[in-house]
Amino acid sequence: MPRVSYAFFTLAALCGLVGTLWGENMGRTNDHSTFIAHAHLNLVGWVSMAVMGGFYALAARTYPRWLAWTNFALQAVGAICLTIAMVYLMAFVDRRFIPLAIVGSAATVLGMVAFLAAVLVSWRNSERAGG
């Protein structure tokens, strides 16, 4: 399996663990004030990164390595920035975190663009190879 897949799976598992513990804590304390941040961590961090890691494992050697690592960096920045920003924006109504939310949103969108580009390049390369 490519190293980039391990990177995606490692960060996905970390996000999944933190998200699970966070969700358990929200349920135990009945304090759901950070549920939006929790959802961003689980969807952008755990789910998206796991799917991307799986794709890169399955499509090994059909995409440019730099594009996969760019995708990883953007997705990681997006997951971290969005989660932190959502905690402060939703739970504490601290508008100073709006720029962090914008950075996180932009990184996540660009991460998805990079992922789509990697899928399309991989598809083209696999068809050229007779796949």
Averages of pLDDT over runs of 10 residues in the chain (131 residues) are: 98 98 97 94 97 97 97 98 95 94 98 98 88 60
Q: In angstroms, rounded to a whole number, what is the distance separating the alpha carbons of residues 41 and 126?
A: 33
DSSP secondary structure, 22-57, as one string: HHHHHHHHT--TTHHHHHHIIIIIIIHHHHHHHHHH
| Helix, strand, coil share (%) of the chain residues, nearest 5 | 85, 0, 15
Distance between CA atoms of residues 87 and 33, nearest Å: 8
For the four alpha carbons of 96, 41, 71 and 112, in that order, the dihedral sign comes to negative
Amino acid at 36: I
CB atoms within 10 A of CB 30: 6
pLDDT given at position 84? 96
Domain boundaries in the chain? 3-124
**What confidence score (pLDDT) does residue 131 get?**
60
* Other beta carbons less than 10 A from residue 115's beta carbon: 23
HEC profile for 70-98? HHHHHHHHHHHHHHHHHHHHHHCCCHHHH
- Predicted pLDDT at 128: 83
The pLDDT score that the predictor gives to residue 129 is: 75
